[in-house]
Structure 1
Amino acid sequence: MAVELRGLTDNARKTAISELNGRLADSIALALAVKQAHWNVKGRNFIAVHELLDMLHNNLREQIDVMAERVQQLDGVALGTVEKVSGSTTLAEYPTDLTKAEDHIRALCDRYRDHGEKLRTAIDATDEAGDADTADILTAASRSADKDLWFLESHLE
């Protein structure tokens, strides 16, 4: 049975589902990139970087759940399988030959910047479509991504 959310047009709902699934794919891809770095990082400040990457992964996991649950609230289907994510993420593929902490951090910074930009675009799209609640969810994800990018970039100073 479909959930009817009062005050949302069909266009707002469809726009939100589409934007959420796009950002969900990127968030899952980014979370996997963070884990790739976490498992393979070596070098100065190893433990600090290793633990930072765990924190970043946990932050992404929280945002992923909130986005996927919002898709369900809007009577959509959250698309989070490896196959769907692989086919729809807009983030650059993460290199698997990196080991140095600084190389991982730079690669992750690039992806966090791209992710943050796309979150902000999705915020505008869902707000303009009339779904302030989804825009708020995406704003929280954007704020988290910006803070995590700051933590990463601070290791490059």
Structure 2
Amino acid sequence: MSTTISTPHLQTRHTLPDGTRHASVELLNARLADAIMVGLQAKQAHWNVRGPRFLPLHELFDSVAEHAREWADLMAERAGALGGVVDGTPASVIERSDLPTYPTELIDADGHIERMAEVLASFSRRLLGSIEAAGEAGDPATEDVFTEVARAVDQDFWFVEAHTQG
């Protein structure tokens, strides 16, 4: 259930106009919530996958979770650099992220693969929208951060989705 939450901003001498910085921080905090949610869902899959493909999937999902932490950190640090207050609290993550929820009853490998592929594809779509919005706001550096994260998400999406083919 994605909502718009107004994030406080700090005084800064950053050269971007206030409106641009504020728009970028809102985008960054929204995608931060998504990255945290991806990481939590990847850990859910990591802890609960079962079956003959257990070990490679267990390791793959753990890798996605670690990458999600890195993506979150990159976006949070950009928001802080813009004078924004970074909001990665659990309540904010739940309120801001509208990624598909993860069912707790999943145990089979195919179910986890399908769900993680869906989550990564949804995150990728949101990142593409944020790339466009950051560009329209006039913030090429934030646009670049989203592009970097989108490339990495797409690679993890490929690794997960490859398990559904062949």
TM-score where L is the length of structure 1 = 0.96
Alignment of 1:86-105 (within 5 A): 86-105=94-113
1-side partners of 2:31 and 2:96: how far apart? Answer: 10
Per-residue CA deviation, residues 130-149 of structure 1 (Å, 9 max, x unaligned), is: 11101100001100110000
Alignment of 1:1-157 (within 5 A): 2-6=11-15, 8-157=16-165
CA shift at 1:39, angstroms? 0.4
Per-residue CA deviation, residues 31-87 of structure 1 (Å, 9 max, x unaligned), is: 100000000000121100001111111111111001111111111111111111111
1-side partners of 2:109 and 2:86: how far apart? Answer: 33
- For structure 1, which segment, 30-39 or 8-17, has the greater mean C-alpha deviation from structure 2 after superposition? 8-17
Unaligned runs of 5+ in 2: 1-9
Unaligned runs of 5+ in 1: none
**Cα RMSD for the two superposed structures:** 1.0
Q: What is the aligned partner in structure 1 of residue 7 from structure 2?
A: none
1-side partners of 2:23 and 2:42: how far apart? Answer: 28
Amino acid at match of 2:12: V
CA shift at 1:5, angstroms? 1.5
CA shift at 1:3, angstroms? 2.2
Q: SS of the residue aligned with 2:83?
A: coil
Q: SS of the residue aligned with 2:67?
A: helix
Identity of aligned pairs, percent?
40
